[in-house]
Amino acid sequence: MTLLQVEALDCRYGLLQAVRGVSFDIAQGETLALIGANGAGKTTLLRAIAGAHRPATGRVWFAGADITHMPAHRRVELGIALVSEGRRLFPSLTVEENLRVASARRRGRWNVDTVLDVFPLLKPRRHMPAATLSGGEQQAVAIGRALMSNPRLLLLDEVSLGLAPVVVDAVYRSLGDVIGEGATVLLVEQDLTRALQVAGRVVCMLEGRVVLQGEAASLDRDRVVSAYFGLRRPA
């Protein structure tokens, strides 16, 4: 079953066109990696799906409903959660408060305790302001905050950015638990190897367009690399 369908989406910042006619879809339970160089439009695309950026044209469908003009907070209620690039925590709120402001009405397995079980490093930090946490801890809170709404579709924007490799491993191990639960995940990742490892399918963007997509297992690395840098455009 198709959970998310993006149809000929155009996103602009004034005169700059960040996303150009992008179409793709994600099936329920699938993990899809969105890759591409800096400025390829990945973050904008994710923000448009989450409702934080209003697309110029095109449509976004979620679970059969047209959500193109729905505000972000209502999409969260429908089950779309975005972990923003740069974490974007509420700095003066404690870890627990950061999690609890995001608990939507949707029922599911995620609450403060289950999130802390998946990210045990947060347990001793529970009552500390988010501003005092390390980068890895902040990333865990950001992912936990997205999980609190019990999303059907989890959007992850560069969760490894600015983190030490050992911390990235820990974050992805925890994500493995989440993905293993049958969640649908759309992730943006700069690290190609990791993206191909985690995702079932890969969509590669270049200058706002989709230049390559396919099953992660069937794509050979050279083709992905050339699409990534735009060395040789597929016919």
Partner 1 sequence: MTVANAVLQGVFLGAFYAVLACGLSIMFGVMRIINLAHGDVAVLGAYIVYVIVERTGVPAFVAFAVALPVMVLLGYVLQLTVLERSLKSGILTPLLATFGLSIVIQNLLQLVFSPDVRSLGGSAGSVTTASWQVTSGLSVSALGLLVLVVAVLLFAALQLFLSKTRAGWIMRATAEDADAAELAGIDSRSVYARATAIAVGIAALGGLFLGIRSVFDPVSGPTQLIFAFEAVVIGGMGSLWGTLLGGIALGVAQTVGAQIHPQFAVMAGHLLFLAVLIVRFGGGRLVLRTA
Q: Is 138 in the site for partner 1 (CB under 8 A)?
A: no
Q: Is 88 in the site for partner 1 (CB under 8 A)?
A: yes
- Choosing from 66, 77, 215, 222, the residue that interacts with partner 1 (CB under 8 A) is 77
Q: Is 73 in the site for partner 1 (CB under 8 A)?
A: yes
Contact present, 160 and 194 (Cβ < 8 Å) = yes
Contact present, 171 and 161 (Cβ < 8 Å) = no
For residues 48-72, one letter each, b for 16 or more C-beta atoms within 10 angstroms of the residue's C-beta and e for the rest, the string is bbbbebebeebebbbbeeebbebee
* Shortest distance, position 42 Cβ to partner 1, whole Å: 16
Q: Is 58 in the site for partner 1 (CB under 8 A)?
A: no
The two most distant CA atoms of the chain are separated, in Å, by: 55
Region of 61-69, 82-90, 187-195, 215-223 interacting with partner 1 (CB under 8 A): 82-90
Q: Is 11 in the site for partner 1 (CB under 8 A)?
A: no
Report helix, strand or coil for 11. strand
* Shortest distance, position 72 Cβ to partner 1, whole Å: 4
- Choosing from 66, 71, 134, 181, the residue that interacts with partner 1 (CB under 8 A) is 71
* Shortest distance, position 26 Cβ to partner 1, whole Å: 19
Contact present, 64 and 72 (Cβ < 8 Å) = no
Q: Is 90 in the site for partner 1 (CB under 8 A)?
A: yes
Contact present, 119 and 174 (Cβ < 8 Å) = yes
Contact present, 213 and 234 (Cβ < 8 Å) = no
- Choosing from 82, 168, 211, 224, the residue that interacts with partner 1 (CB under 8 A) is 82
- Can you give the C-alpha Rg of the chain in angstroms? 17
The span from the CA of 44 to the CA of 54, in Å, is 10
Region of 24-32, 48-56, 166-174, 191-199 interacting with partner 1 (CB under 8 A): 48-56
Binding residues for partner 1 (CB under 8 A)? 50-52, 71-74, 76-77, 81-82, 84, 88-93, 97-98, 100-102, 104, 145-146, 149
